[in-house]
Amino acid sequence: MRRLAAVNCGGCLPLLLFYCPNLSAGALFSSVQGKPGHSDDDALGAEDSFKAVEAALKDKQTSKDQALPDEIDPVASAVNQRRNRRKRSVDSIFGDVLHDALRLRDMGHKPDADFVYKRAQERMYEEEYGHKPPSAKDHAAKYVPFPPDLGLNRLIPLEHIIGDDPWPARSITAQNPVWTRQQVEEDRVKHGGAQLKEWEKKMFGPREGFDPCGEFIDAMEELAYWEERFVKFVREAPLPQRRTLPLLHEVYRYITHRLVRAERRYLGTRDAALKKARASSSVYKMTEANIERIRSLYSETHRSLSSPNYDPVRMKKSLTGPLLQMSESEFEEWKNVRKHQRNRLVAEIV
């Protein structure tokens, strides 16, 4: 409806100024209200149009403040893609992990520092790469060959080729085989993983009544022995023969898994020894560098078997290539360097 202006002059009758002269008097006086600015024909359907506009502005501002930012197309920019992966900070991830640990504790479980560390690493990996970390099955298939088959009736037994194990408690035999995934799953269903934990503690943990530092030094010697055996076998058995000859492949699988057992004992005794010696972080980094080098050694060797065109000697960043090209004198020098590194680590601990 059109606006009407009402002017009151000193008690005289109101003078009405019409913007539309064709408007009838009945329509005019029937539309006049006692409350200025009020209209029953308001388009917003509110009693007070000013309050309605104010409420609309407030709702618009509130929706603007609460609106989420537009999702960035990960294909459009690699920088924005990595920024999206890091939307959650480490503090929030760690807070969620601690919340899960407290919830498990309330349920009767006993989460420890290892649980918090591993779960935080898994969450950070998932936030960084967009998927969960690879399982133990995928990791084993990529870096470690299948365990040796001890049930085969061979003309030349593996024991005659490998020789006597200086550490018979961890030798791979029919009485002490490598646990398969099926055995691990059966133990998890029947005993909750108790037998596997007991076997790992007995096999790789420090023995009761022995000095932790002495146990760690013995584990260092065991790991160095099997590392040299592994490198010597890789140097003597050419890569094409290790791919095609079953006997050499069985020997390779045995030595690799024996090296993995020595590595696990090295890790199992290291923590107790460093805790007793109150070693610094630099000593811990030295042990980690040793483990990383050995893992890179047998993982690269395993990858070389699966690719027929892979030649470690021609690879620029290959770890096994320089070892294969060494002469006997250079190989002896390499063993002496490794021995000096072990002596330095022992001096730091003792």
Tokens matching residue 337? 């360097």
On whether the CB atoms of residues 259 and 226 are closer than 8 A, the answer is yes
Q: What percent of the chain has pLDDT over 70?
A: 76
Alpha-carbon span 215 to 190, nearest angstrom: 33
pTM: 0.63
CA dihedral 168, 172, 174, 177 (to 10 degrees): 120
Please determine, for residue 155, whether its predicted confidence score (pLDDT) is greater than 70. yes
Please determine, for residue 232, whether its predicted confidence score (pLDDT) is greater than 70. yes
Which residue, among 261, 262, 299, has the nearest Cα to 179 in the 3D structure? 261
DSSP-based three-state secondary structure for 91: helix
Alpha-carbon span 177 to 14, nearest angstrom: 110
What does DSSP assign to residue 15? E
On whether the CB atoms of residues 318 and 300 are closer than 8 A, the answer is yes
Alpha-carbon span 78 to 71, nearest angstrom: 14
State the residue for tokens 């008690």: 11
**Bridge partners (DSSP) listed for residue 10:** none
pLDDT in tens, 268-320: 999 889 888 888 888 999 999 999 999 989 988 888 887 777 778 787 788 88
Q: What is the pLDDT of residue 98?
A: 87
Q: Which residue has the higher pLDDT, 258 or 96?
A: 258
On whether the CB atoms of residues 239 and 304 are closer than 8 A, the answer is yes
State the residue for tokens 């005019």: 28
**Which residue type sits at 161?**
I
Alpha-carbon span 222 to 219, nearest angstrom: 5
On whether the CB atoms of residues 242 and 256 are closer than 8 A, the answer is no
Segment (H or E) for 292: helix 281-306
- Give the residue extent of every domain in the chain: 1-43, 78-133, 150-349
pLDDT in tens, 67-105: 666 665 555 566 666 565 555 577 788 888 888 888 888
pLDDT in tens, 336-347: 999 999 999 998
State the residue for tokens 């019409």: 18
**Stretch 232-248: mean pLDDT:** 88
Region at 126 (left for phi over 0; alpha for psi -120 to 50; beta for the rest): alpha
Q: What is the pLDDT of residue 9?
A: 45
**What is the 3-class SS of 194-245, one letter each residue?**
HHHHHHHHHHHCCCCCCCHHHHHHHHHHHHHHHHHHHHHHHHHCCHHHHHHC
Which residue, among 45, 40, 48, 36, has the nearest Cα to 3 in the 3D structure? 36
Q: What is the pLDDT of residue 141?
A: 66
Q: What is the pLDDT of residue 276?
A: 87
**Bridge partners (DSSP) listed for residue 6:** 16
Please determine, for residue 233, whether its predicted confidence score (pLDDT) is greater than 60. yes
Which residue, among 227, 230, 232, 224, has the nearest Cα to 252 in the 3D structure? 230
Please determine, for residue 110, whether its predicted confidence score (pLDDT) is greater than 70. yes
Provide DSSP, 27-63: HHHHH--SSTT--TT-TT--S-HHHHHHHHHHHHHHH
On whether the CB atoms of residues 346 and 220 are closer than 8 A, the answer is yes
Q: What is the pLDDT of residue 27?
A: 46
